[in-house]
Structure 1
Amino acid sequence: MLSKTDELNQWSNLDHKQQIISKFNSSCSVCGGFHMSSDHWKFMAEDMPKEPVEMIDDLIKMGVYKPNTLKVAQTVNAADIRKTLLLRAAGKGNPQRERLVLELAKQAGGIENAFAAAFGANAGEFFGDVVHNSEFSRRRFLKNLAVGAALVSLTNCAPNQQSQESVTDTANAPVIVDNLEKKDLRIGFIPITCATPIIMSEPLGFYKKYGFNAQVVKMPSWGAVRDSAIAGELDAYHMLAPMPIAMTLGLGSASFGVKLASIENINGQAITVANKYKGKINGPADFKGFNIGVPFPYSMHNLLLRYYLATGGIDPDRDVKIRAVPPPDSIAQLIAGDIDAYLMPDPFNQRAVYEEAGFIHKLTKELWPGHPCCAFAASDNWIDQNPNTFRALNKAIIEAAGYARNPANRVEIAKAISERAFLNQPVEVVEAVLTGNFDDGLGNSRSVPDRIDFDPYPWQSFANWISSQLVRWDLQGDSKVKTAIAADKYEEVGKEIFMTDLARELAVELGQTAPDDIYRTETLEFDTFDPANPQKYVDEQIKKYGV
């Protein structure tokens, strides 16, 4: 119990704090609410209690926020609170400033580090992630809840006459989207980790957030995705990055216009070899005579495999046999000896290690760090008929990709997408892929955090590299590709099919960092690609390697 003297001293100190707050703040001219000035944070650091629960009690007494805010804080993700606070405090509602804030946060090592730098060395302690820790103490929970409640109050316009229960700054708060032409959607996917943003958006609520009743539909092969797209059986689809280019140009099928709306994943593939070849494979030249599986002719897998083999003097069309194998069938064919190796999406590389059927020879990240793999796509006709739906759906996917990009969310995502309805894989296999902590089948425990990553920005340089390799390998053998992608049409093809400007616009609306440039120089393992001179790049490759 406090003595009367102590109580008087406490309230005297409280009056002093209220005077400081009054000095630095004024009511909002729009809502009449309570707003903190930039000097508030100095005051908080110097004069407020150090224990968060005591601080919250002080703030309640001062009327800074109401106890009802605690109810809201329980539903607010701590990471979103930090991000919101940073953007509102430093971005001041200016999109360009907010992009700068996010870029600076990225340079600082993430929102956690940036928040600590901005608001004090102990900020991270207050925001430890206890939600997923079943062993947390009541005290630890109260600390996080208390600080979360404070930030909800401080980062929202709080009218004096209105309860804080109206605050809806939550990660899953519904987004009001006007004039959706269609809400019931069927989105096709292949059960691979490349489809993570598309798949996770169903169980984790990203589709629902944007007003959709969306069903993700598991497809058996890329050929089935292509055929269902052409037949109009799906609204949108998970596609390999080269597929929209190939389909629009009529390569491998009748011409059918498809737009690449955003990139699903970067990296995320590997070359896996049957265990019987352990100790015999050291480089591309050692694959001579192999039967090698890829998921589809018009895939990054096929193009990257050909790129790799050629550097070792292997002609991909003569010295090996490359054939399409649906990813779910790849391990069975490896075990049966129908193929000797494959360049496949995960989790089938990691699953081969798990089943002791093969070993990981090379991650495609090592061939081209940051290379595109899969994409979110829709047909030209469907986009024209459903422009508002398409925009909102693409935004949901881009937001999901941003969520998946945060390593802190990967374990949660692995559990969500491993289930039978989606990947139907052991959760430890999917978790090994998404976290980058894995065994390679050669006795090595590796840590590669960006083994797979999620960056939705569709660089035009991606499109130009893909087109250059379609020209180089002329997969149909009748020069149709070379005719369709003439030396002066690389840029035209890319800008027609890759929706780079829209992806940037939606990312900025979501508070994500998006580049201003549409081209960049791509650095691969064996060369550098200048997107301004794709035909020169092809000519140099053929001259250097003979194919």
Structure 2
Amino acid sequence: MGERIRLGFIALNDAASLIVAEARGFFADEGLDVELSREVSWATMRDKMAVGALQGTHMLSPTALAISLGVAGSDPTPLIAPFALALNGPAVTLSSRLAGAVGQDGRADGLARLVARRREEGASPITLAVVFPYSTHNYLLRDWLAAAGIDPDRDIRLVVAPPSRMTGLLVDGVVEGFCVTEPWDTAAVAAGAGMIAVRGSQIWPRTPDKVFAVTEAWAEANPEALQALLRALARAAAWVDTPTNRAELAVILAQPGYVAADAAVIERSLSDMIFYADGATCPAPAHAGWLLTQMMRWGHLPADLDIPAVARRIYRPDLHAQAMEALGLPVAQPVALLEGFGATGRYRLEDSAQEAAAAPLSRLARD
């Protein structure tokens, strides 16, 4: 179907649909010539999308929004997100010493007391890492800390590091915790470096994390290729979400050119993630609206931004629906809860969940 399509990804579990679409031939079944490019950091991904070195990418949802709005450290590059790659991937992992400050309920109240004591003693602040300033991880971690009275801009030190380096930084004592998508949380536990303090799904149920993003210009110039990509990704997501495929999936992801982590660690780390069921692949504009409120809450966007307009322009459930209809599958109907989103960001994410018709996995998870 024309020229080679180069798609970027980062070594994370939620790149699974892209990886499986290549490894099991779903892209080839659609007549696509796809090359996956494993990138090191989200900044690199941002830059390659901006200059057209990648036609599409596994992308942090807030980064797709930030790039489109021109606040991500590059010139505005209008992107669209016609496919959601996973829900519930992130977790907050702390060093074993700090993990004891988090209660059984996953609240950070004990950590707040430790932060206050350090401040009173004049000690260095706790250092925590996130994967990128414009990431679900940054906003999720900030929301969790703020709920316990910790000011993430004053009381701790937040740094940015590539996902695959997080475990090593914790082992070496460079950071005392991080928020990252699996498998790197479970990898840190397996290395004896820390404990998972709280999962994203405990803070924001059905945590929206990554989307598949392409430039608006490429989508308009290549509508047939885009639909073929979405069909292949839908089939791959269904295969990935089938429980009996998880062991094989872990082996695929563990390969050096993909996630390159221990297969047993990857398999354990998949348990909380949703790739296809209950309409998970549909890009819900309400999720974009929720994330935009978080970006606004922490001063990353102006308070007068038209959130509904931005969310609807970038998140494209209509393009997703077209692909699902072509496959003969039910189309998820994302809830249109966009009116009233504002700067406080204190809305329940559950309220923006999709009322989706779950397509039978067996319809897509075929060889």
Per the TM alignment, residue 512 of structure 1 is displaced from its structure 2 partner at its CA by 3.5
Q: Is 1:519–2:336 an aligned residue pair?
A: yes
Other-structure match for 2:80: 259
The correspondence of residues 467-482 of structure 1 with structure 2, limited to 5 A, is: 467-475=292-300, 481-482=301-302
Which residue is equivalent to 2:48? Answer: 228
Q: Which residue of 2 aligns with 1:462?
A: 287
Q: Deviations over 1:179-218 (max 9, x none)?
A: x343x22111000001110111111111111112212111
Give SS of 1:234's match: coil
Q: How many Å separate the matches in 1 of 2:343 and 2:53?
A: 40
- State the secondary structure of the residue aligned to 1:201: helix
From 368, 374, 385, the equivalent of 2:204 is 368
Structure 2: stretches of 5+ with no match in the other structure: 116-124, 349-367
Cα displacement (A) at 1:540: 8.4
The one-letter code matched in structure 2 to 1:325 is A
Q: Which runs of 5+ in 1 are unaligned?
A: 1-179, 437-449, 476-480, 521-530, 542-547
C-alpha separation in 2, matches of 1:536 and 1:423: 36
Name 2:174's counterpart in structure 1: 338
Letter of the 1:399 partner, please give it: R
Computed over aligned residues only, the root mean square deviation of the Cα atoms, in angstroms, reads 1.9
- Following superposition, the deviation at residue 250 of structure 1 comes to 0.5
> Quick one: structure 1 residues 404 and 540, their matched pair in 2 at CA, closer, same or farther if it must change by over 3 Å?
closer
Shift of 1:321: 1.5
Are 1:244 and 2:64 counterparts?
A: yes
Q: Is the 8 A contact 2:32 2:228 kept in 1?
A: no
Partner SS, residue 208 of structure 2: coil
Superimposed CA distance per residue, residues 381-402 of structure 1 (whole angstroms, 9 cap, x where no aligned partner): 2222222111211221122112
Aligned counterpart, 1:532: 339
The one-letter code of the counterpart of 1:284 is A
| Percent of aligned positions that are identical | 28
SS at match of 2:312: helix
1:322 to 155, 158, 173: 158
Report SS of the residue matched to 1:308. helix
Report the alpha carbon displacement of residue 324 of structure 1 after superposing the two structures with TM: 1.1
Give 1:407 deviation, angstroms. 1.8
In the TM superposition, residue 424 of structure 1 has moved relative to its aligned partner by: 0.9
Preserved contact between residue 241 and residue 274 of structure 2 (Cα < 8 Å): no
Q: TM-score, length-normalised on structure 1?
A: 0.58
Corresponding pairs, count: 329
Match of 2:184 among 315, 324, 348: 348
Q: Does 1:301 align with 2:137?
A: yes
1:495 to 282, 296, 312: 312
TM-score scaled by length of structure 2: 0.85
Residues in 2 aligned to 1:536 and 1:331: alpha-carbon distance in whole angstroms: 34
Q: Which residue does the alignment assign to 1:205? A: 25
How many angstroms apart in 1 are the aligned matches of 2:187 and 2:340? 39
Aligned equivalents of 2:99 and 2:142: distance in 1? 22
In 2, Cα distance between equivalents of 1:364 and 1:229: 27
Kindly indicate whether the alpha-carbon contact (under 8 Å) linking 1:265 and 1:373 is maintained by their aligned counterparts in 2: yes
Instruction: Report matched runs for 1:399-438 at 5 Å.
Output: 399-434=235-270, 436=271
Q: Which structure has the higher relative contact order (CA within 8 Å, separation 6+)?
A: 2
Letter in 2 for 1:367: I
Aligned position for 2:232 = 396
State the SS of the aligned residue for 1:352: helix
1:396, 1:429 → 2: CA distance? Answer: 27
What residue in structure 2 maps to residue 46 of structure 1?
none
